[in-house]
Homo-oligomer: A and B are copies of this chain.
Amino acid sequence: MHKELIVQKYGGSSVANVERIQKVAQRVVNYHKKGFELVIVVSALGDTTDELIHLADKINAEPSEREMDMLLSTGEQISVALLAMAIHKLGAQAISFTGAQVGIITDSSHTRARIIKINADKIKEELKKARIVIVAGFQGVTLNQDITTLGRGGSDLTAVALAKELAADSCEIYTDVEGIYTTDPRIEPKARKIEEITYDEMLEMASLGAQVMQARSIEVAKKFNVPLHVRSSFTINPGTMIIKEVKMMEDVVVSGITLNKNQAKITLCGVPDKPGVAVKLFKDLAMSGVSVDMIVQNVSHTRLTDISFTITKGDRAKASKITKMVAKKIGSSDVLIDEDIARVSIVGVGMKSHHGVAAKMFGIMAENKINIEMISTSDISISCIIKKKFAEKAVKKLHKEFGLDKRG
């Protein structure tokens, strides 16, 4: 008889201390007793990774990326060993592996390596022995046997890649929230857990500020059509399924609303309205690693115009310095910096087939006297920059008017 194979990934908060490791072990053993084959991917305990980074920083502020991977990969190695011990304590069979040991082969881009291939023979062998297989997340190894790490959200990627390679029936991502919500429940208590969401919507939400999963793992899951189940390690409730197509009874236009208050707006005033200026500015910004989100160039009534763009706050100093240099060069009158903004976005694949969604969003904002400063749209999302003080109000109104607090 074919046994169902589940890949389960437990994040750092799920294994933050001895008690939580024991709880994860109990959950895993319960699944095993039900007859599932299990591959468990684990992150480093709680803040271990941050502590190791801090230790390295005291020794060398610009550590070699190879050595950083050597250092950080120990975090997950500790987790897998402890989880195996906790499972043994409950009387079940389990064996732990590092990324290198199970043949997760990556390129040599240390600290952000890409998985090239996985040789899953060892895992299959152990599954045949009815053992629970525990794999260190976030890490791999080059063909030259150098240890690598996969960058932020790397453990999710390990789980997705293993689920694909092993043709798992399911890939469960355990975290400290119950799933993906229509919006942040701390802002709108009426926010609902979404039962099903498409890869594309989840990707859009991740890039717009939802922090449950990194875009990268979702992209890989989408590419190989690995169904993801995002759920909490603290409850037995089902979470959110991230899948290719959602078949809903109703016609859902907007699936979720995201809010990002970590941006700043920079405006370069009095720019000569001729080609080349914007090119120069955004080239310089890109060259110095500043990632620009939205760009608006005002319609020009005179020979002069304004260019506004948004960046994450962390890049503020760098971006303002570069903009001021460009301003000086072109004889521009002023550079304005506004940190008092927020980006509110609505996301939904339904937008593709529905007209007037943008108009409805703008209408809701207008009715509530919320001025829109910038707009940006994609196939399945619409984002507005507004004053920060209106952020929560905007989220609540949009959540209500698009019917997100009723459905389900």
Q: Contacts A55-B18, A60-B88, A85-B63: A77 and B78 contacting too (C-beta < 8 A)?
A: no
B85–A56 contact, CB under 8 A?
A: yes
Contacting residues of chain A (70-115) with chain B, CB-CB under 8 angstroms: 70-71, 73-74, 77-78, 80-82, 84-86, 88-89, 95-96, 98, 100-101
Q: Contacts A74-B74, A81-B67, A81-B70: A86 and B60 contacting too (C-beta < 8 A)?
A: yes
B71–A81 contact, CB under 8 A?
A: yes
Is A145 positioned at the interface, with any CB of B under 8 Å from its CB?
yes
* Chain B proximity mask over A47-75: 1 for CB below 8 Å, otherwise 0: 00000100110111001101110110110
**CA A269 to CA B22, docked complex, whole Å:** 50
**CA A299 to CA B229, docked complex, whole Å:** 79
Is A268 positioned at the interface, with any CB of B under 8 Å from its CB?
no
**CA A222 to CA B130, docked complex, whole Å:** 46
Determine how close the nearest CB of chain B comes to the CB of A110; give it in whole angstroms. 12
- Chain B residues near A55: list those with CB within 8 A: 18, 82
**CA A37 to CA B100, docked complex, whole Å:** 29
A78–B85 contact, CB under 8 A?
A: no
Determine how close the nearest CB of chain B comes to the CB of A22; give it in whole angstroms. 7
A60–B89 contact, CB under 8 A?
A: yes
Determine how close the nearest CB of chain B comes to the CB of A214; give it in whole angstroms. 24
**CA A73 to CA B98, docked complex, whole Å:** 12
- Sorting the interface of chain A by its residue count into under 10, 10 to 19, 20 to 34 or 35 or more gives 35 or more
Is A202 positioned at the interface, with any CB of B under 8 Å from its CB?
no
Selected from B21, B67, B82, B145, the residue in CB contact (under 8 A) with A85 is B67
Determine how close the nearest CB of chain B comes to the CB of A263; give it in whole angstroms. 34
B67–A88 contact, CB under 8 A?
A: yes
Selected from B77, B146, B147, the residue in CB contact (under 8 A) with A70 is B77
B70–A56 contact, CB under 8 A?
A: no
**CA A106 to CA B74, docked complex, whole Å:** 21
- A: residues with CB less than 8 A from B are 18, 21-22, 52, 55-56, 58-60, 63-64, 66-68, 70-71, 73-74, 77-78, 80-82, 84-86, 88-89, 95-96, 98, 100-101, 145-147
- Chain B residues near A82: list those with CB within 8 A: 55-56, 59, 71
Determine how close the nearest CB of chain B comes to the CB of A125; give it in whole angstroms. 11
- Chain B residues near A95: list those with CB within 8 A: 66
**Residue from A70, A71, A86 with most neighbouring chain B CB atoms (10 Å):** A70
Determine how close the nearest CB of chain B comes to the CB of A42; give it in whole angstroms. 12
Q: Contacts A85-B63, A85-B64: A18 and B58 contacting too (C-beta < 8 A)?
A: yes
Chain B residue nearest to A82 (CB atoms) is B59
A70–B60 contact, CB under 8 A?
A: no
- Chain B residues near A88: list those with CB within 8 A: 60, 63-64, 67
A145–B101 contact, CB under 8 A?
A: yes
**CA A257 to CA B188, docked complex, whole Å:** 77
Determine how close the nearest CB of chain B comes to the CB of A76; give it in whole angstroms. 9
**CA A18 to CA B85, docked complex, whole Å:** 31
Chain B residue nearest to A52 (CB atoms) is B78
Q: Contacts A67-B96, A96-B67, A101-B145: A86 and B74 contacting too (C-beta < 8 A)?
A: no
B70–A96 contact, CB under 8 A?
A: yes
Selected from B71, B80, B85, B101, the residue in CB contact (under 8 A) with A60 is B85
**CA A55 to CA B21, docked complex, whole Å:** 11
Determine how close the nearest CB of chain B comes to the CB of A101; give it in whole angstroms. 5
Determine how close the nearest CB of chain B comes to the CB of A287; give it in whole angstroms. 27
**CA A145 to CA B125, docked complex, whole Å:** 14
A18–B71 contact, CB under 8 A?
A: no
